[in-house]
């Protein structure tokens, strides 16, 4: 039955294409605002198209949702090289090999329809079911640090849950985001005959983001980004899932496996040149093992800067604003470790993954979410002091913290004190999103609003059905 419907839709689409309507069959009444393959000029047009698409999608079985999300997974993994390069060329931050890995290796692990479930109670009074139903149209704001991966991961979760989505990408990653949306839509249309399950505003601005925030047809906002947009979403009247900023500290105590700690810190902090919100940003290590840890980092791909070199780098990597506050110099975000070394006046050997060095606990690189592969290491007298400094450097975001220790008391204390959405023990930060650790993957970690690592269930409404006095077959 479903195959027949799909076949008919595909035939209609082919006929329309041959008649010159290259953008395929249209949802709704035919008075659709101009947009091709999901890319629209305004927020209103993009929302209207996604709303019409939801009208069709909601009538379809789970098998269609699975096909739609499989299209996104397949495009990301099969076209990772081309799309990753596109993202690198446009955003000019991070590392090409990791941009490709995010699409090829990470996106296929984002959970889909299989994650949905129905809960039930069966007893003398009958059967009650709790189903997870879609909201409708979701408005998504995505960051420049992972423009297409965030969009693709959000779309898999949201479409699996039965929603459609309108995206306002970061202006500096908007071209690759639009290209992804075009490719996803073409494939989904071919697979299930519906257009516009994912729409995007072609030229995003703060105004278009605000229009999406306020649009009456948007049932839920999902915002992934830094402090300003997180604040705006939390202040919005619309219900919002907010994946905000972090500044993940690492604590290393005297019981830690130092070789594993050094390798893990490097793996997490070097990933995409430390653009990940979960990436290791500063390390507090106890003095007993501090020098041995520094030596292990140097042996495993870290290039150590001396105090004068760190000073030189810091003066360039932070600027003093009119507000008399220091701000991260955006031109330094996501630069290669070797380039940072050169800015510091040093030449890093080939194969350098991060640059690092010893700083005080009040250093700018400790206080700011710098998103660069320079990692400050702070020497502390004991682990309790390390945990306290880790907590203050995280600024109460409650995002991510990392510990290297074999002491379960320390694990428990740091877990409690940090109270973070993600707490990784004895591994790289990426283990917290299922890469080298257990659990599902997402690029949107919703700390401030409490949903945690987002999944299809994050984007569902619970609906209860009580069938009274029957349906118990015992
Ligand atoms: P950003 O805050 O500059 O931009 C994020 C998005 O918000 C963009 O689409 C931007 O156009 C939009 N935006 C910015 N200010 C806005 C405002 N006032 N109103 C409406 N829209 C606004 O962040 P970025 O540089 O793209 O990404 C890096 C930041 O995002 C870091 O702080 C990082 O920690 C955070 N991040 C968090 C997660 C998470 O899952 N929690 C994931 C990725 C990135």
CB 255 within 8 A of CB 406: yes
Beta strands 218-224; 137-141: pairing state: parallel
Output the pLDDT for position 2. 46
Q: Is the CB of 277 under 6 A from ligand 1?
A: yes
Output the pLDDT for position 15. 42
Q: Is the CB of 243 under 6 A from ligand 1?
A: yes
Output the pLDDT for position 21. 37
Instruction: From residue 15, give the alpha-carbon distance in Å to each of 12, 26, 31, 196.
Output: 5, 13, 19, 19
Q: Is the CB of 185 under 6 A from ligand 1?
A: no
For residue 292, report the distance from its CA to the centre of ligand 1, in Å.
Answer: 37
Q: Is the CB of 276 under 6 A from ligand 1?
A: no
Output the pLDDT for position 473. 87
Tell me which DSSP letter residue 33 carries. P
Which atom of ligand 1 is closest in space to residue 169's alpha carbon?
Answer: 9
**363-410 confidence digits (pLDDT tens):** 999 999 999 999 999 999 999 999 999 999 999 999 999 999 999 999
Output the pLDDT for position 35. 85
Instruction: From residue 313, give the alpha-carbon distance in Å to each of 188, 273, 338, 339, 342.
Output: 47, 16, 12, 10, 9
Ligand 1 atom 13 nearest Cα: 229
Which atom of ligand 1 is closest in space to residue 171's alpha carbon?
Answer: 11
Segments in the chain below pLDDT 70: 1-33
Q: Is the CB of 244 under 6 A from ligand 1?
A: yes
**311-335 confidence digits (pLDDT tens):** 999 999 999 999 999 999 999 999 9
**136-178 confidence digits (pLDDT tens):** 999 999 999 999 999 999 999 999 999 999 999 999 999 999 9
| Tokens found for residue 387 | 């945990």
Q: Is the CB of 139 under 6 A from ligand 1?
A: no
Nearest to 224 by CA among 275, 291, 266: 275
Output the pLDDT for position 395. 98
Output the pLDDT for position 4. 53
DSSP letters of 180-218? HHHHHHHHHHHHHS---SEEEESS--HHHHHHHHH-TTE
Q: Is the CB of 209 under 6 A from ligand 1?
A: yes
Report the C-alpha dihedral over residues 85, 455, 431, 229, rounded to 10 degrees: 60
Ligand 1 atom 18 nearest Cα: 229
Burial 371-406 (b: 16+ CB within 10 A, else e): bbbbbbbbbbeebebbbebbbebbeebbbbbbbbbe
Q: Is the CB of 206 under 6 A from ligand 1?
A: yes
Mutate to test the pocket of ligand 1, among 226, 246, 327 (most ligand atoms within 8 A of CB): 226
């Amino acid at each position: 039955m479903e195959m027949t419907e799909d076949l008919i839709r595909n035939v209609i689409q082919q006929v329309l294409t041959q008649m010159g309507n290259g953008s395929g069959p249209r949802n709704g009444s035919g008075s659709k605002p101009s947009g091709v393959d999901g890319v629209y000029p305004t927020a209103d047009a993009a929302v209207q198209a996604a709303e019409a698409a939801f009208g069709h999608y909601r009538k379809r079985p789970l098998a269609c949702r699975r096909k739609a999300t499989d299209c996104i997974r397949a495009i990301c993994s099969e076209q990772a090289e081309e799309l990753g390069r596109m993202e690198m060329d446009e955003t000019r931050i991070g590392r090409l090999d990791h941009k490709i890995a995010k699409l090829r290796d990470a996106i296929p692990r984002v959970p889909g329809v299989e994650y949905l479930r129905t809960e039930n109670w069966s007893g003398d009074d009958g059967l009650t079911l709790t189903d997870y139903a879609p909201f409708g149209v979701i408005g998504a704001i995505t960051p420049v640090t992972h423009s297409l991966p965030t969009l693709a991961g959000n779309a898999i979760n949201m479409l699996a849950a039965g929603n459609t989505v309108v995206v306002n990408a970061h202006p500096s990653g908007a071209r690759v985001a639009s290209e992804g949306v075009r490719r996803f839509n073409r494939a989904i249309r071919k697979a299930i005959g519906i257009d516009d399950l994912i729409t995007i505003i072609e030229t995003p601005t703060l105004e278009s983001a605000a229009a999406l925030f306020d649009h009456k047809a948007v049932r839920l906002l999902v915002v992934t980004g830094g402090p300003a947009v997180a604040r705006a979403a939390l202040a919005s009247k619309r219900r919002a899932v907010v994946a905000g900023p972090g500044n993940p500290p690492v604590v290393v105590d005297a019981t830690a496996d130092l070789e594993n700690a050094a390798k893990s810190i490097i793996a997490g902090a070097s990933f995409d040149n430390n653009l990940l919100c979960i990436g290791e940003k500063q390390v507090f290590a106890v003095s007993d093992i501090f020098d041995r840890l520094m030596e292990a980092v140097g042996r495993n791909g870290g290039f150590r800067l001396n105090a004068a070199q760190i000073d030189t780098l810091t003066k360039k990597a932070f600027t003093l604003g009119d507000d008399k506050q220091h701000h991260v110099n955006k031109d330094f975000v996501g630069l290669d470790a070797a380039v940072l070394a050169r800015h510091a006046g040093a030449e890093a050997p080939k194969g350098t993954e991060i640059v690092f060095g010893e700083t005080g606990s009040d250093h700018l690189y400790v206080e700011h979410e710098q998103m660069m592969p320079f990692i400050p290491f702070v020497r502390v007298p004991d682990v309790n002091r390390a945990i306290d400094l880790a907590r203050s450097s995280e600024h109460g975001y409650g995002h991510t913290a990392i510990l290297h220790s074999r002491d379960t008391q320390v694990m428990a204390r740091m877990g409690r004190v940090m109270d973070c959405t993600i707490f990784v023990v004895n591994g790289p930060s990426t283990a917290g999103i299922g890469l080298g650790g257990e659990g599902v993957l997402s690029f949107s970690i919703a700390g401030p609003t409490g949903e945690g690592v987002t999944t299809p269930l994050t984007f569902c409404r619970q609906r209860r059905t009580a069938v009274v006095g029957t349906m118990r077959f015992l």
